[in-house]
Amino acid sequence: DNEGGKKSIWKHLIPKYAKLQFAGSMGMLSAGAGWEYGKKHWETDLLLGYAPTDSYRQDLFTMTLKQNYIPWRIKTSNIFSLEPLTAGFYFNAILNDKNLWAWNPDRYPKGYYYHSNRFRFHIFLGQGVKFDLPKTNLPLRTVSAFYEVSTFDLYLQNIFKKGNYLKPKDYISLSLGLRFGF
């Protein structure tokens, strides 16, 4: 039954949750959708973000592709679960700043900049708590709250190059978020 196979493929493409995230070096506020798989230990998010800037510069819009790993969940009651550890990485891009570039511009000597200033690679650790909602006719099944502590590639590089010069407040970012499961 080829028709059933096509339905199955499309069913996997439908997001399993929506996410709102505050901060985390992906914009002041990011929102998007996500998919879970691997016995719900793995999640992939696609988020669009907004970052207001100073009055002399345009506000920024970002896009983030994020991979989350939740090794285990601890059921504390019929309706609550703890996620004592979440970990992962994400790629973030600033979409609308014409002064940023993906590759070394021709105006600089070859190899002068070895990194893009438009794209960043982040790693994070966090925790969360999930609330299972009573079954209703509404599509919303769960609500989760989480926090994450993250840093990104250039910060990590500076930590190793400059050692004690940087303090944790210089290279660690905190984000808070809500996840709405369908």
Give the lowest-confidence range in 51-65, 73-87, 113-127, 144-158.
113-127
Phi/psi at 101 (5° precision): -140, 155
DSSP-based three-state secondary structure for 39? coil
**Those residues with Cβ within 8 angstroms of residue 124's Cβ, 6 or more apart along the chain or in another chain:** 24, 86, 87, 88, 89, 90, 148, 149, 150, 151, 175
68 C-beta neighbours (distance < 10 Å), count? 24
Q: pLDDT tens for residues 2-57?
A: 555 666 788 888 999 999 999 999 999 999 999 999 999 999 999 999 999 887 77
- Compute the distance between CA of residue 21 and CA of residue 128 in angstroms, rounded to an integer: 13
Contact 104, 139 (CB under 8 A): no
Q: Which of these, 95, 86, 98, 99, lies nearest to 149 by C-alpha position?
A: 86
Does an H or E element contain 116, and which? none
Q: What is the pLDDT of residue 1?
A: 46
- Compute the distance between CA of residue 17 and CA of residue 170 in angstroms, rounded to an integer: 32
Phi/psi at 7 (5° precision): -60, -40
Q: What length is written for the chain?
A: 182
Q: pTM score, two decimals? A: 0.85
Q: What is the pLDDT of residue 178?
A: 98
In the chain, what is the greatest distance between 2 CA atoms, to the nearest angstrom? 64
